[in-house]
Amino acid sequence: MYIRYLTFALGLTAFVLAGCSDKPQKEEAAEVSAESAPVAATAEDATPTAESNADPVAAERAAGRMIEIDTPKGKFNVWTRKVGDNPSIKVLLLHGGPGATHEYLKNVDNFFPGADIEYYYYDQLGSYFSDQPDDPSLWVIDRFVDEVEQVRLALGLGPDNFYLFGQSWGGALAMEYALKHQENLKGLIISNMMASGPAYDAYAEEVLMPQMDPDALAEIKALEAAEDYGNPRYEALLMTHHYVHHVLRLPPEEWPLDVIHGFEHINPDIYIPMQGPSELGISGVLGSWDISEEIHKITVPTLVIGATHDTMDPKYMEWMAEEIPNARFLLCPDGSHIALVDDADVYFAGLIQFIEDVDRGTFPGEE
């Protein structure tokens, strides 16, 4: 997920709320403590309490189900929440980051229920609604893949109903899962994610950066060279010259609170080692990650979603859909990295059509 985490999100939250002071319902929804820490649960299903209902984050956490997973460092709990009921269509949503949360994906609520799609929100280990162990050895791709498989088993998902959706980092995780466990899948959705960290970095360097104001880019580069990522000027430059063009193409005051909260709750102890600290490129674990020579092995019905203004190269993503034998490409012409918000009608029409085609047995191909 191509975005600064805590400093940016907290500042943007204050900005949005200041602009919404005449809308009491939004003020109430925004009364979320950024200092709230996840509480591990032992019961699979929790019941909301009067106390949790006073805090939207606590209420949502209480309404979910904690699933115990095994890791090389012991047992931990990850949070999930089921919405809807459809025995043949069950979608597990993998958020980005790494280390973000399910919150920014909530526009799904405005589309999936009307299409009778059962879906599961899920915060990966280390993310805000789940346990957050302080052990860097856990933040590796193979362990995340194993975690997804344990969650699948706990939820009872299988090849007759299991669609795996991944956005940004979640798309990388979904591809890695498919390469190892595609026999469990009915369908795969790769949203706003390239299959190569180096190719992603090259697109930022060769295409996105030259589009920026050269003085602004020079100042951003200078701040990055000084590792001054917390400088308010750095955040302001990125918002003006990058975020509103390539992350979410809306004025900052119109960013949905769910999106802001999702960024506010990013865990930097995962994000930085895996994505790297810089906004204009990628380093860390994902900097050298490249499965572009492997994706042809994915044979399950697959939808690849790109966007014209994304941080990810839409032409590369179209190539991915050609490389995967049983895939379709969906382009969101007005979308950016979070096209599920800024080009939502196109995004969800194509996504729902894909799921329905697979469910009816009419996929592959356009009608």
Distance CA 334, CA 70 (A): 41
Q: Which of 127, 130, 168, 191 is catalytic?
A: 168
Distance CA 68, CA 281 (A): 35
Distance CA 148, CA 184 (A): 12
> Is 21 designated active site?
no
Strands 162-167 and 118-123, sheet pairing: unpaired
> Is 261 designated active site?
no
Residue 169, CA distances (Å) to 183, 261, 359 in order: 22, 18, 26
Distance CA 151, CA 212 (A): 41
Which helix (H) or strand (E) element contains residue 332?
strand 327-332
Q: Which of 130, 146, 337, 342 is catalytic?
A: 337
User: Tokens standing for 274?
Assistant: 């895996």
8-14 long-range CB contacts below 8 Å, 24 or more apart?
Answer: 8/235, 8/238, 8/239, 8/263, 9/260, 9/261, 9/263, 9/264, 9/265, 9/266, 10/34, 10/264, 11/232, 11/235, 12/239, 12/252, 12/255, 12/260, 12/263, 13/257, 13/260, 13/261, 13/264
Contact 159, 248 (CB under 8 A): no
Q: Where are the beta strands (DSSP E) in 2-89?
A: 65-71, 74-83
> Is 337 designated active site?
yes
- Phi/psi for 140 (5° steps) reads -130, 150
What would you report as the CA-atom Rg of the chain, rounded to the nearest whole angstrom? 19
Tokens 């179209």, located at residue? 318
Q: Which of 310, 313, 343, 357 is catalytic?
A: 310
Distance CA 350, CA 360 (A): 15
Q: Mind telling me the catalytic residues?
A: 168, 310, 337
